[in-house]
Chain A
């Protein structure tokens, strides 16, 4: 796992952000096994995610789970991440709330199988990290965006020594992976300009 930054900039849970405890509800529990259970949890998570406003972030809190097998992890979180990356939930995002413990290995394995990643925090408000797979050349971009809190494409390009198009392509990939937010700033000098910010 890669740490993105050490200092938190934003407040913990603001409007449009919701924490979902995986141990709660009918499908929840401390022992999360099988794809069937994972599917039920994912359906609930999907409903909550759809209920969030545009740009909303769902914090999926698995800290109360004692055991999660690979099948559950893939079905509940791997497929959810895949659907977020596929644009099924618009610009709504998912953040994993979990500590660095063995249970994470199954989530990591599932996301790597899918060439996907999620942003993870030890607790809402804590420093964000990556779980899963982010292409090496995008990690620096991701880290710079999280360090900045919010940054324009031009500033990001300047910091990383890339031209604007290359920078935009890299950041767009991170947007599509569901790891950052992108905002369009039409009032920028010279016309349209994107700015990026972390989701956790």
Chain B
């Protein structure tokens, strides 16, 4: 499998660039699989979590899974994000991981390395840790609360509704430039991504008979899931987490993207875009929280992201 065919043209590993690989993975039945990531020059949290979910799928279906990488920056970034700690023993790779470990350096923008979790009990620990990092980096309380609440709510959804053999993966990265969107904007951006291998949003909401007319397609279900009080269980008070995350991202002038099944929606506060995409087996969430580089923040760079993670 070679992801060169689609989005990775730009060299940026996002969830979308892994679509062809996800499609091919559905057909894998035993044997060896090689995932060719050599065109990748930049990995954002969404790509990292998507890669983790893809590897879980491939590992469950293949006798042996290989991952090919090129250059130094991407392997070094993956090492810093704990990718090899989680997958190094489960895949075969052309990367000299031991050498990367020896040269390992801190990554100033990493707020949460790739983390695998299975239960709600793990979430407070994750939040405590990222909150401490954000405090040390002089994030304002409001920003810290926004990032932590986003992560905690989405992690909670993943373990509650997205139960799967591998649980869920999350990663958070801060950039000193805006990564999301086509146009260049000054400022900084925090990206939060989470992927699970559960039944997906449509299936979860379908358990509640009153949502039958809102679950005709995956995109219908995703749009409906953003509404306050919409939940699979139908209990009063439930179904507020995702709506609150949508508000937090909109207030930060950012976005909330959801993928589940063949649906993909992105909520911007004043509008919601949706389109049909190749099947994603589970639920994936990406939240962009831009930061306006104020006087108390380091000067923003407008440089395009290029192999800098």
Contact = CB atoms under 8 A, between A and B. Distances in A.
Interface string A33-45: 1111100000000
A78 B152 CA distance: 18
Contacts of A29: 124
Contact of A33 (B124, B236, B237): B124
B241 interface: yes
B145 A103 contact: yes
A31 B128 contact: yes
Contacts, number: 79
A106 B156 contact: no
Contact of B152 (A69, A74, A110): A69
B144 interface: yes
A70 interface: yes
Interface string B102-146: 000000000000000000110110011001000000000110110
A104 B243 CA distance: 16
A: interface residue count bin: 20 to 34
A12 interface: no
B149 interface: yes
Contacts of A69: 148-149, 152-153, 156, 241, 244
Nearest to B119: A36
A110 B240 contact: yes
A113 B148 contact: no
B149 A79 contact: no
A114 B156 contact: no
B240 A36 contact: no
B228 interface: yes
A103 B236 CA distance: 21
B237 A79 contact: yes
Contacts of B131: 31, 66-67
A71 interface: yes
A109 interface: yes
A103 B142 CA distance: 9
B120 A36 contact: yes
A15 interface: no
B20 interface: no
B86 to A, nearest CB: 23
Nearest to A81: B237
B164 to A, nearest CB: 19
25 contacts: A31-B127, A31-B128, A31-B131, A33-B149, A34-B123, A66-B144, A67-B144, A67-B148, A69-B152, A69-B153, A69-B156, A69-B241, A70-B149, A70-B153, A70-B240, A70-B241, A70-B243, A71-B153, A75-B237, A78-B237, A79-B237, A102-B145, A106-B244, A109-B228, A113-B236
Given A34-B124, A67-B148, 20 more contacts: A29-B124, A33-B152, A34-B120, A34-B156, A35-B156, A66-B141, A67-B144, A67-B145, A69-B152, A69-B244, A70-B244, A71-B153, A74-B240, A79-B237, A82-B237, A105-B244, A113-B228, A113-B229, A113-B236, A114-B236
Interface of B: 120-121, 123-124, 127-128, 131, 141-142, 144-145, 148-149, 152-153, 156, 228-229, 236-238, 240-241, 243-244
